[in-house]
Chain A
Amino acid sequence: MESTGVVVAFYVLSGLTILSALSVFLMRNMVHSLVFLVSVFLGMAGLFVTLSADFIAVAQILIYAGAISVLLVFAVMLTPLASRDNANSLYVGPGVILGGAIAAIVVFTAIDVEWNQLTGVALEERGFVSTIEMIGEQLLGRYVLAFEVASVLLLFALLGAIVLVTNRDEDDETADGDADEAATTGVAEDTV
């Protein structure tokens, strides 16, 4: 993709994403870390748009930035005084080295391998106007079994999360039950 707009957008968005991901690691306060994670999700949505994946970009914003972030917010709020600290554990050294090694290997492979990729005119010809019809046809056509299994999985996750958090012997379950019910809505949105 050679046009200036896409190149500038790619570099700005990937810079934003990588810096935000680093800040997720480096921030000491958990809530700041959460905010930078939301910024990672939004940057990723922008990168998906540069890849002409319009439906996935919008679904990413809806699911990740709109629902999973709210889940994380609820988890941070429901564990007061314990989870506001984003400290490093004892294995921070090996963790950083392993993460850095994985990143280095993947970057080296990405740059060094001669990918069988389309460039230039062939790339333009392969572009799609809208992905959503084709994704719909695939989901209900060739991959319908996986689609149904995914919906059953979401049902189990929804029920499981509610069952896990419900207090059975106490009566004041409204706060946790409601909050976790509300927190699992992001899961339920995908079934439709």
Chain B
Amino acid sequence: MTDQPLASTPASPPAGQPATPMAREIIARGSLLQDAKNVSVPLKAAGAVAGLVFLTVNAAIAYIVIDGRLDGEWYDFRDLGNAMARLRAELDDTSAGPWLSYWVTGLIGGVGILSFLGGFLLIGSWIERRMLARFQIRVGPDRVGPFGLLQPLADALKLMQKEVLTPIGADKALFLLPPVLVFIPAMLAWGPMPWAPNMSYLDINVGLLYVISITSLSVLAIWMAGWSSNNHYALLGAMRTVAMMVSYEIPISLSLIVVVLLTGSLNLGEIVAWQGEHNVWLGALLPFAMFTFFFSSTAEINRTPNDIAEAESEIVAGFHTEYSGMKAGLFLAVELGNALLVGALLATFFLGGYTAFGLEEWIPPYLILAAKAGFGYFLFIWLRGTLPRFKIDQLMNFAWKYLIPLSIANVLIVAVEASIAARWDVEGIFIYGSFAIVNLALTVFAVRAWAKVIGYTPDLEHPVGPRFASKIGGLEAAREIQGGT
């Protein structure tokens, strides 16, 4: 009504300074670069030493891979396992004894695994997002670098410079532990993985059981994360996740027992060697076990269709709701690393590991295993892009009433088959060929019969194509079909 100016104008800040208090605070806090410069000197020294050691050992590995001359012999890069065995034997002969050989080869192997995983973490996120986008007919990240390749790096930098908050009522010690505790099993489970005939970091005779038990340690870390957050949704997500992970450990164990029955050993290297020796992949012989392992692993690593843990549209972020900054970054990194781990385990147990019907003479076996692990990871991304999420009761029903009884029946059948194979003296191809056919037939039959018994019938008609309203008579016809008038 009046166009007179206001009686008093608010005091404007001096020229050149930002207007709002928040903007001033942001400027006063400084940038990530300044924070990095302010790190204390001993910490910088320790970081520099660790970085130098890491780079040196990586350079040593690269040297051995590309042009290794130990003791005058030529080791080509297909034969890394024997190169390491040779190095170890040499170091054993020196005066320091087995101590030095264990430490050096252990360091090299550990840094090798860390580098492989770190490299995968840099590119895996990009692969996943681009592929999911492809499934959903969109583009995915393509701004940050050429084709968006620097997106994971940008994500990591973003997470590093975020403020790390601890919620008020949270238990401080228990809040700090879970990101570390969930990372440890993800690293440790890579130990027994056989990359080549002589090349597994932890060549233990109970490797399979070790992998199962180490992955069961991450259950506790997730529960701790949920409980110590002082947040209803986090606790709910954590309890659901714990129930799901504990339930799905049983089908995993049962399907791996079937593998042990046929190969006769819990040593992962021997399982892969069995597949190479008999020229058959265990996935062909044991289709139900492969499917069970694959599906239950999505539950173990909290991926869609079993990701009620994080359920990005349901309970904010589940057990890691309250985590910000690099702590959340660790959870996300672990999820990615676990997906590759389970892909590699699938490859080792059911897809032949580093063997490829004799191809491993020419191509380095570790590259074959990496390719198969990547294929397994692709299967997980495919499942994530395609299937909707299961509800918690659907999940638990599926595990307890469906997978576990069928897995136990599978153990019985394969036990009979394994004892037949141990007693008959027929050619391998006849026995295992007949096993494959019998197992596949029994799988299809049992799955359908059991589903009918417990009432899992698909009750939707699958539409053959899109139906336009004008084709069936327009809106009135649609309303009539739906039951109204």
B205 near A130: Cβ-Cβ < 8 Å? yes
Shortest Cβ gap from A64 to chain B (Å): 10
Q: Which residues of B contact A183 (CB under 8 A)?
A: 246
Interface 9-residue window, one of A31-39, A86-94, A115-123, A165-173: A31-39
Interface 9-residue window, one of B145-153, B209-217, B315-323, B425-433: B209-217
Chain B residue nearest in CB terms to A129: B205
Shortest Cβ gap from B437 to chain A (Å): 26
B89 contacts A by Cβ under 8 Å: no
CA–CA, A129 to B400, complex, Å?
37
Interface 9-residue window, one of B4-12, B47-55, B220-228: B220-228
B216 near A178: Cβ-Cβ < 8 Å? no
A192 contacts B by Cβ under 8 Å: yes
Chain B residue nearest in CB terms to A29: B171
Sort A-B residue pairs by CB-CB distance and give the 8 closest, nearest first.
Answer: A66-B216, A130-B205, A62-B213, A182-B243, A61-B213, A58-B209, A58-B206, A58-B210
Q: Which residues of B contact A32 (CB under 8 A)?
A: 173-174
Counting chain A residues whose Cβ lies within 8 A of the other chain, the interface size class is 35 or more
A192 near B257: Cβ-Cβ < 8 Å? yes
A9 contacts B by Cβ under 8 Å: no
B400 near A181: Cβ-Cβ < 8 Å? yes
A189 near B99: Cβ-Cβ < 8 Å? no
Instruction: Say yes or no: A59-B209 contact (C-beta < 8 A), given A181-B400, A189-B253.
Output: yes
B174 near A62: Cβ-Cβ < 8 Å? no
A50 contacts B by Cβ under 8 Å: no
Could you give 28 example pairs across A and B, Cβ below 8 Å? A29-B171, A31-B174, A31-B227, A35-B174, A35-B224, A58-B213, A59-B213, A61-B213, A61-B217, A62-B213, A65-B213, A66-B216, A66-B217, A66-B219, A70-B223, A70-B246, A73-B242, A129-B205, A130-B205, A174-B393, A182-B242, A182-B243, A182-B396, A185-B246, A189-B250, A192-B254, A192-B257, A192-B408
Q: Which residues of A contact B216 (CB under 8 A)?
A: 61-62, 65-67
B247 near A182: Cβ-Cβ < 8 Å? yes
CA–CA, A74 to B206, complex, Å?
29
Q: Which residues of B contact A4 (CB under 8 A)?
A: 99
B171 near A31: Cβ-Cβ < 8 Å? yes
A104 contacts B by Cβ under 8 Å: no
Q: Which residues of B contact A61 (CB under 8 A)?
A: 213-214, 216-217
- Give chain A interface residues in 155-180, CB to chain B under 8 Å: 174, 178-179
A186 contacts B by Cβ under 8 Å: yes
Instruction: Say yes or no: A54-B205 contact (C-beta < 8 A), given A35-B224, A70-B242.
Output: yes
B249 contacts A by Cβ under 8 Å: yes
Shortest Cβ gap from A159 to chain B (Å): 14
CA–CA, A35 to B227, complex, Å?
12
Chain B residue nearest in CB terms to A63: B213
A127 contacts B by Cβ under 8 Å: no
A189 near B239: Cβ-Cβ < 8 Å? no
Instruction: Say yes or no: A54-B247 contact (C-beta < 8 A), given A35-B174, A66-B216.
Output: no
A192 near B411: Cβ-Cβ < 8 Å? yes
CA–CA, A192 to B260, complex, Å?
12
Additional A-B contacts beyond A4-B99, A54-B206, A62-B213 (11; CB < 8 A): A31-B171, A59-B213, A70-B242, A70-B246, A132-B206, A178-B243, A178-B393, A178-B396, A182-B242, A188-B250, A189-B253
Q: Which residues of B contact A182 (CB under 8 A)?
A: 242-243, 246-247, 396
Chain A residue nearest in CB terms to B218: A66
- Give chain A interface residues in 17-66, CB to chain B under 8 Å: 29, 31-32, 35, 38, 54-55, 58-59, 61-62, 65-66
Shortest Cβ gap from B6 to chain A (Å): 56
- Give chain B interface residues in 293-352, CB to chain A under 8 Å: none
CA–CA, A178 to B247, complex, Å?
10
CA–CA, A148 to B210, complex, Å?
25
A77 contacts B by Cβ under 8 Å: yes
A186 near B246: Cβ-Cβ < 8 Å? yes
Digitize B221-252: 1 where CB-to-A-CB distance is under 8 Å, 0 elsewhere.
00110010000000000010011001101100
Q: Which residues of B contact A77 (CB under 8 A)?
A: 227, 239
Q: Which of B209, B249, B408 makes the CB contact (< 8 A) with A55?
A: B209
Q: Which residues of B contact A69 (CB under 8 A)?
A: 220
